[in-house]
Amino acid sequence: MRILGVDPGLTRCGLGVIDTLSARRVAMVAVDVVRTPSADSVDLRLGSLAEAFDTWLDVHRPDVVAIERVFARNDVSTIMGTAQVSGLTMGLAARRGIPVAMHTPSEVKASITGSGRADKKQVTNMVTRILGLDAPPKPADAADALAIAICHSWRGALSAQSTPGANKDLTERKGGGRQGSGLTKAQEQWARALRDAK
């Protein structure tokens, strides 16, 4: 399975692609950070990110897109930009029928390092080791995107699979029930319990 990890951000958006191998091994395919100038208007910045993300989907043809789940912080302007980019990448993937999975920062940290409270340096060091890289991916947004992809390969890869190729279609995917819910396992269980109770 090929996974595109996204560390969403309006100023810096990390993108990392990995392939899953046997025995929980993974291999890096590509990594980059797309930047937008803070002086530009938000619509231009989102348009630029959309073009870059579309290009990554065209070139790498992932089976699933894994995105870091947005969480509340005190800095409203930062969280707004992150949420906008998260929604943009989710929508662009959905238009192609590519399942989307979301993982919280603590899930990613725990999956990669064993601790949900690990710092960025610890995550970067483990990503470098897991992927067998000669040097750490820089900046941190690049390592974070790869960490999100690795987390999905170890935690949720079987829950959102699709067939690679150019014929991914949103309507067909909905009919086949293959879209990612974007919910955690606990949230999915709660939603199932509510449906069953009706």
Q: Could you confirm whether 58 is annotated as catalytic?
A: no
pTM of this structure: 0.79
Q: Give me the sheet containing 100-103, strands edge to edge.
A: 26-35, 12-20, 2-7, 64-68, 100-103
pLDDT in tens, 158-198: 444 443 444 455 455 455 544 455 555 665 666 676 677 76
Pairing status of strand 26-35 against strand 64-68: unpaired
Nearest to 30 by CA among 65, 4, 68, 66: 4
* Known binding positions for Mg(2+): 7, 68, 141
pLDDT of amino acid 23: 87
Catalytic (active site) residue 68:
yes
Binding residues: 7, 68, 141
Of 7, 63, 107, 144, the active-site residue reads: 7
Domains of the chain by range and CATH? Answer: 1-158 (3.30.420.10)
Catalytic residue among 19, 32, 54, 68: 68
**pLDDT for residue 196:** 77
Amino acid 8: pLDDT? 96
Active site residue 144: no
